[in-house]
Amino acid sequence: MNIKNIDAYQIYDSRGYPTLEVEVELEDGTTGRGLVPSGASTGQFEAWELRDGDPTKFRGKSVFNAIANVKGEIAGALKGDSVFDQKNIDQKMIALDGTPNKSRLGANAILGTSMAVANAAANAKNQKLYEYLGNGEGHLIPLNEIQILGGGAHADWATDIQDFLVIAIGAKTYEETLEMTHNIYHEAGKVMKEKGKCVGIADEGGWWPDYTNNEEPFEVFMEAIQRAGYEAGNDVAISLDIAASDLFDGENYHLRLENKKLSPDEFYALMKDWCEKYPIVSIEDPFADTEFDYWQKFTQEFGHRVQVIGDDLFTTNIKRIEEGIAQQLANSVLIKLNQIGSVSETLEAITLTQKAGWLPVVSARSGETEDAFISHLAIATNAGQLKVGSFARSERMVKWNENLRIQRHLGDKATFIGGKIYDQIFSTASV
Ligand code: PGA
Ligand code: ZN
């Protein structure tokens, strides 16, 4: 089944920023779409998101050049190709682009096309996307990592930490993770409103707090868990995305909220203190993406009981993940399609992570769309974990809801292992 036509349009993401929708049409009239997400706290090693930069058009954020690249060069190169050869199509676009970070044609142009090709191929085979991407092997319904409070670049630095998330480690079913999260999310909102500390909703749907120091959110979080009737550390655990590269100036870490400057050693001590004081099961980007020594030391010290996730550290980049594995910098990799810019490279990054005995966490971006591609990606690859922001707003809920649909579609084949996913890294990591 060959590609007949490729078209692209400007649509708008969850922040109302322009992004791309690509549509691939096959010779028999089958179509597939790709909707491209966009980050705010992006890592310096990510593939290049091509924006027009013309202040008179959408304040510089329009993507008309990326759209022209899809309709022109990319469509020209891919017309007539077999839609089932995802890797070949992605490699062809990478070669056509010719830069190491997809900056000529734009990673958004390439990814939108790549996702649309995958969707069209699944449609042509009359399969669900997760069946197609996973060659029928996907069956594991992911454990959710769900944001309760938003901060950092997603809430104008209301807290220095970007995400306070909950993981329902004690849930026996996927539905139960959603119920527990629902209860804690709303209890946290209530606690914050009672204390006059809730300003609204941050970019990913979590509560946007009004705090004066970085300990307050932990107190609210612990109170919400307890008032919702759960035992912290047993039923549910805390997960943090520090997004530390955003705090680092090359020498020190800056805590804007407390107007404090911490040396890398002092910052290490702070991460250590939090992991000792609170029931933290997972921590993402605890150090800047250049501070390998601290990552290594931290993973050695906490990797036996804390999932240490590299997001900005790895940017879903095969070479960076390989280097991280060789140096044991972490024990988990955050997986974002648009950090690397094609479906087949993303699949490769997940496989590489799993082969090393590490855990992949499939993730959304802070700028999301109404598309649920990542739910299918997580289940197709048996990644075991999914991070999509909060338990509010439809661009987030569509992913949790799609997991429920896929679970129903899988029927008896669906499996859910919940918090047992961590046995794999916690038993093997060096203490
Ligand atoms: P971003 O945030 O999409 O703004 O980069 C998500 C994350 O850091 O995990
Ligand atoms: Zn992150």
Q: Residue 162 C-alpha to ligand 1 middle, in angstroms? A: 8
Q: Is 258 a catalytic residue?
A: no
pLDDT in the model for residue 96:
98
Q: Is 336 a catalytic residue?
A: yes
Mean pLDDT per block of 10 residues along the chain (431 residues) reads 98 98 98 98 96 98 98 98 98 98 98 99 98 98 98 94 98 98 98 93 96 95 98 98 98 96 98 98 98 98 98 98 98 98 98 98 98 99 98 98 98 98 81 44
Q: Residue 221 C-alpha to ligand 1 middle, in angstroms? A: 21
Q: Which atom of ligand 1 is nearest to the CA of 154?
A: 4
Per-residue HEC secondary structure of the chain comes to: CEEEEEEEEEEECCCCCEEEEEEEEECCCCEEEEECCECCCCCCCCCCCCCCCCCCCHHHCCCHHHHHHHHHHHHHHHCCCECCCHHHHHHHHHHHHCCCCCCCCCHHHHHHHHHHHHHHHHHHCCCCHHHHHCCCCCCECCEEEEEEEECHHHCCCCCCCCEEEEECCCCCCHHHHHHHHHHHHHHHHHHHHHCCCEEEECCCCCEEECCCCCCHHHHHHHHHHHHCCCCECCCEEEEEECCHHHCECCCCEEECCCCEEECHHHHHHHHHHHHHHCCEEEEECCCCCCCHHHHHHHHHHHCCCCEEEECCCCCCCHHHHHHHHHCCCCCEEEECHHHHCCHHHHHHHHHHHHHCCCEEEEECCCECCCCCHHHHHHHHCCCCEEEEEECCCHHHHHHHHHHHHHHHHHHHHCECCHHHHHHHHHCCCCC
pLDDT in the model for residue 428:
59
Residue of 245, 363, 374 with the most ligand 1 atoms within 8 Å of its CB, for mutation? 363
Q: Residue 390 C-alpha to ligand 1 middle, in angstroms? A: 13
Q: Residue 230 C-alpha to ligand 1 middle, in angstroms? A: 28
pLDDT in the model for residue 427:
75
pLDDT in the model for residue 89:
98
Taking CB atoms within 8 Å and a gap of at least 24, the contacts of 229-236 are 229/183, 230/170, 230/180, 230/183, 230/184, 231/170, 232/278, 232/279, 233/279, 234/169, 234/170, 235/168, 235/169, 235/170, 235/171, 235/180, 236/166, 236/167, 236/168, 236/169, 236/170, 236/180, 236/184
Closest listed ligand to the CA of 49: 1
Q: Residue 13 C-alpha to ligand 1 middle, in angstroms? A: 14
Residue 263, classified by CB atoms within 10 Å of its CB into exposed (0-12), middle (13-18) or buried (19+), is: exposed
| CA nearest neighbour of 217 among 159, 157, 156 | 159
Selected catalytic residue, list 46, 49, 131, 204: 204
Residues 6+ apart with CB under 8 A from 49: 38, 42, 106, 107, 108, 338
Q: For the chain, how big is the Rg over CA atoms in Å?
A: 21
Closest listed ligand to the CA of 153: 1
Q: Residue 59 C-alpha to ligand 2 middle, in angstroms? A: 26
Closest listed ligand to the CA of 46: 1
Domains of the chain: 3-126 (3.30.390.10), 143-426 (3.20.20.120)
Closest listed ligand to the CA of 336: 1
Residue ranges lining ligand 1, Cβ < 6 Å: 39-42, 162, 241, 243, 311, 363, 365-366
pTM reported for the whole predicted model: 0.98
Residue nearest to atom 1 of ligand 1 (CA): 39
Residue of 14, 15, 41, 387 with the most ligand 1 atoms within 8 Å of its CB, for mutation? 41
